[in-house]
Protein backbone atom coordinates (compact mmCIF):
# COMPACT_ATOMS: atom_id res chain seq x y z
CA UNK A 1 0.00 0.00 0.00
CA UNK A 2 1.35 3.40 -0.80
CA UNK A 3 1.28 5.82 2.13
CA UNK A 4 1.50 9.48 1.11
CA UNK A 5 2.24 11.97 3.91
CA UNK A 6 1.35 15.64 3.42
CA UNK A 7 2.16 18.40 5.88
CA UNK A 8 2.06 22.17 5.89
CA UNK A 9 1.04 25.18 7.89
CA UNK A 10 -2.52 26.18 8.67
CA UNK A 11 -4.35 27.15 5.46
CA UNK A 12 -1.33 26.24 3.33
CA UNK A 13 -3.44 24.27 0.84
CA UNK A 14 -2.47 20.82 2.14
CA UNK A 15 -6.03 19.49 2.48
CA UNK A 16 -6.98 20.66 -1.00
CA UNK A 17 -3.80 19.14 -2.44
CA UNK A 18 -4.51 15.84 -0.63
CA UNK A 19 -8.14 15.76 -1.77
CA UNK A 20 -7.16 16.38 -5.38
CA UNK A 21 -4.44 13.70 -5.24
CA UNK A 22 -6.83 11.18 -3.65
CA UNK A 23 -9.49 11.84 -6.30
CA UNK A 24 -6.92 11.46 -9.08
CA UNK A 25 -5.77 8.17 -7.56
CA UNK A 26 -9.37 6.99 -7.28
CA UNK A 27 -10.09 7.91 -10.90
CA UNK A 28 -6.88 6.22 -12.06
CA UNK A 29 -8.04 3.02 -10.36
CA UNK A 30 -11.65 3.46 -11.49
CA UNK A 31 -12.18 -0.18 -12.36
CA UNK A 32 -10.51 -1.51 -9.22
CA UNK A 33 -10.99 1.19 -6.55
CA UNK A 34 -13.81 0.36 -4.17
CA UNK A 35 -14.33 3.50 -2.13
CA UNK A 36 -13.01 7.04 -1.79
CA UNK A 37 -12.95 7.59 1.96
CA UNK A 38 -12.38 10.75 3.98
CA UNK A 39 -11.45 10.09 7.62
CA UNK A 40 -12.26 13.29 9.51
CA UNK A 41 -10.72 13.77 12.94
CA UNK A 42 -11.88 17.33 13.62
CA UNK A 43 -14.26 18.25 16.41
CA UNK A 44 -16.26 21.47 16.30
CA UNK A 45 -15.05 22.69 19.70
CA UNK A 46 -15.31 26.37 18.75
CA UNK A 47 -16.79 28.58 16.03
CA UNK A 48 -13.58 28.69 13.97
CA UNK A 49 -13.24 24.90 13.90
CA UNK A 50 -16.92 24.56 13.06
CA UNK A 51 -16.42 26.87 10.05
CA UNK A 52 -13.35 24.91 8.91
CA UNK A 53 -15.22 21.61 9.13
CA UNK A 54 -18.16 23.01 7.14
CA UNK A 55 -15.79 24.44 4.51
CA UNK A 56 -14.05 21.06 4.08
CA UNK A 57 -17.42 19.29 3.83
CA UNK A 58 -18.66 21.78 1.22
CA UNK A 59 -15.45 21.37 -0.78
CA UNK A 60 -15.91 17.59 -0.91
CA UNK A 61 -19.62 17.84 -1.75
CA UNK A 62 -18.81 20.15 -4.67
CA UNK A 63 -16.59 17.50 -6.26
CA UNK A 64 -17.90 15.27 -9.07
CA UNK A 65 -16.82 12.18 -7.11
CA UNK A 66 -18.74 10.98 -4.06
CA UNK A 67 -16.68 10.75 -0.87
CA UNK A 68 -17.60 8.41 1.97
CA UNK A 69 -16.91 10.51 5.08
CA UNK A 70 -16.17 8.72 8.34
CA UNK A 71 -15.99 10.82 11.50
CA UNK A 72 -13.07 9.49 13.56
CA UNK A 73 -12.06 11.99 16.23
CA UNK A 74 -10.86 9.36 18.71
CA UNK A 75 -10.84 5.64 17.82
CA UNK A 76 -9.08 6.00 14.46
CA UNK A 77 -7.38 2.59 14.75
CA UNK A 78 -10.79 0.90 14.86
CA UNK A 79 -11.74 2.69 11.65
CA UNK A 80 -8.48 1.58 10.01
CA UNK A 81 -9.56 -2.03 10.61
CA UNK A 82 -12.65 -1.47 8.42
CA UNK A 83 -10.64 -0.34 5.39
CA UNK A 84 -10.50 -2.73 2.47
CA UNK A 85 -8.32 -3.61 -0.47
CA UNK A 86 -9.03 -1.16 -3.26
CA UNK A 87 -9.93 1.77 -1.00
CA UNK A 88 -8.42 5.21 -1.53
CA UNK A 89 -8.31 6.86 1.89
CA UNK A 90 -7.56 10.39 3.09
CA UNK A 91 -7.04 10.99 6.82
CA UNK A 92 -7.37 14.69 7.70
CA UNK A 93 -5.73 15.26 10.03
CA UNK A 94 -3.13 13.87 12.41
CA UNK A 95 -2.85 17.06 14.47
CA UNK A 96 -6.57 17.20 15.28
CA UNK A 97 -6.57 13.50 16.17
CA UNK A 98 -3.51 13.97 18.40
CA UNK A 99 -5.15 16.94 20.14
CA UNK A 100 -8.25 14.80 20.73
CA UNK A 101 -6.05 11.98 22.06
CA UNK A 102 -4.26 14.37 24.44
CA UNK A 103 -7.48 15.62 25.98
CA UNK A 104 -9.75 12.58 25.75
CA UNK A 105 -11.16 12.11 29.23
CA UNK A 106 -10.97 15.80 30.13
CA UNK A 107 -14.73 16.02 30.61
CA UNK A 108 -14.62 13.18 33.15
CA UNK A 109 -11.76 14.68 35.15
CA UNK A 110 -8.41 13.42 33.85
CA UNK A 111 -7.28 13.88 30.25
CA UNK A 112 -5.17 11.20 28.61
CA UNK A 113 -2.06 13.41 28.66
CA UNK A 114 -2.17 13.35 32.47
CA UNK A 115 -2.63 9.56 32.78
CA UNK A 116 0.66 7.62 32.77
CA UNK A 117 1.12 5.61 29.57
CA UNK A 118 -2.21 6.67 28.04
CA UNK A 119 -0.84 8.74 25.17
CA UNK A 120 1.99 6.31 24.43
CA UNK A 121 -0.55 3.48 24.24
CA UNK A 122 -2.81 5.41 21.85
CA UNK A 123 0.12 6.20 19.56
CA UNK A 124 1.31 2.58 19.59
CA UNK A 125 -2.17 1.29 18.71
CA UNK A 126 -2.42 3.72 15.78
CA UNK A 127 1.07 2.86 14.51
CA UNK A 128 0.30 -0.87 14.65
CA UNK A 129 -2.99 -0.33 12.81
CA UNK A 130 -1.21 1.66 10.09
CA UNK A 131 1.46 -1.03 9.75
CA UNK A 132 -1.37 -3.53 9.20
CA UNK A 133 -2.80 -1.23 6.53
CA UNK A 134 0.52 -1.31 4.69
CA UNK A 135 -0.20 -4.95 3.87
CA UNK A 136 -3.45 -4.06 2.07
CA UNK A 137 -3.81 -3.10 -1.56
CA UNK A 138 -5.02 0.46 -1.01
CA UNK A 139 -3.75 4.04 -1.11
CA UNK A 140 -3.54 6.02 2.13
CA UNK A 141 -3.10 9.81 2.20
CA UNK A 142 -2.24 11.32 5.59
CA UNK A 143 -2.49 15.07 6.27
CA UNK A 144 -0.91 16.87 9.22
CA UNK A 145 -0.05 20.40 10.31
CA UNK A 146 3.45 21.77 10.43
CA UNK A 147 3.96 23.45 13.82
CA UNK A 148 7.72 23.53 14.07
CA UNK A 149 8.55 26.93 12.57
CA UNK A 150 7.06 28.70 15.57
CA UNK A 151 9.17 29.70 18.58
CA UNK A 152 9.05 27.50 21.71
CA UNK A 153 6.15 28.04 24.09
CA UNK A 154 6.35 28.57 27.84
CA UNK A 155 4.01 25.63 28.34
CA UNK A 156 5.34 22.15 29.07
CA UNK A 157 2.12 20.66 27.71
CA UNK A 158 2.39 22.52 24.39
CA UNK A 159 6.04 21.54 24.05
CA UNK A 160 5.13 17.90 24.82
CA UNK A 161 2.49 18.10 22.08
CA UNK A 162 4.97 19.54 19.57
CA UNK A 163 7.62 16.95 20.47
CA UNK A 164 5.09 14.12 20.19
CA UNK A 165 3.81 15.43 16.86
CA UNK A 166 7.35 15.82 15.56
CA UNK A 167 8.20 12.22 16.44
CA UNK A 168 4.93 11.06 14.85
CA UNK A 169 5.77 13.02 11.68
CA UNK A 170 9.19 11.39 11.51
CA UNK A 171 7.57 7.97 11.85
CA UNK A 172 5.09 8.77 9.06
CA UNK A 173 7.83 9.98 6.72
CA UNK A 174 9.86 6.82 7.39
CA UNK A 175 6.80 4.68 6.54
CA UNK A 176 5.69 6.78 3.54
CA UNK A 177 6.49 6.16 -0.11
CA UNK A 178 5.97 9.88 -0.76
CA UNK A 179 6.17 12.92 1.57
CA UNK A 180 5.14 16.48 0.69
CA UNK A 181 5.18 19.85 2.40
CA UNK A 182 2.85 22.70 1.45
CA UNK A 183 3.74 26.38 1.85
CA UNK A 184 1.37 29.07 0.59
CA UNK A 185 -0.16 26.71 -1.95
CA UNK A 186 3.23 25.58 -3.26
CA UNK A 187 4.02 21.91 -2.91
CA UNK A 188 7.52 20.58 -2.20
CA UNK A 189 8.17 16.85 -2.54
CA UNK A 190 10.69 15.67 0.04
CA UNK A 191 10.45 11.94 -0.57
Going from the first residue of the chain to its last (191 residues), give the mean pLDDT of each consecutive group of 10, the final group possibly shorter: 91 90 87 85 69 64 78 92 94 93 89 94 96 93 84 81 93 97 91 93
pLDDT of residue 153: 72
Active-site position among 16, 54, 56, 169? 56
DSSP string, 47-105: HHHHHHHHHHHHHHHTSSS--EEEE-SS-HHHHHTT--TT-EEEEE-HHHHHHHHHHTT
DSSP string, 129-181: HHHHHTTSS-EEEEEEE---SSPPPS-HHHHHHHHHHHHHHHHHHHH-SEEEE
pLDDT of residue 106: 85
* Feature table: binding site: 8-15, 40-42, 71, 92
Question: Could you give all domains of the chain from N- to C-terminal order, each with its CATH number?
Answer: 3-189 (3.40.50.300)
What is the rounded CA–CA span in Å between residue 33 and residue 81? 18
Torsion sign (Cα): 47, 10, 162, 93: positive
Q: Is 56 among the residues known to form the active site?
A: yes
What is the rounded CA–CA span in Å between residue 40 and residue 29? 23
pLDDT of residue 28: 85
Closest-CA residue to 161 (of 147, 143, 151, 142): 147
* Feature table: binding site for GTP: 8-15, 40-42, 71, 92
pLDDT of residue 49: 61
Amino acid sequence: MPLIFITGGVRSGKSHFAEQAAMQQYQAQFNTAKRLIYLASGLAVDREMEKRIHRHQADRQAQPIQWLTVEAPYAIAEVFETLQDGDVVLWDCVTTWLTNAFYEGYDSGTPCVQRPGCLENKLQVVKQAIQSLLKKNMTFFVVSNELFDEPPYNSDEVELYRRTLGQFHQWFVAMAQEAYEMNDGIVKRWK
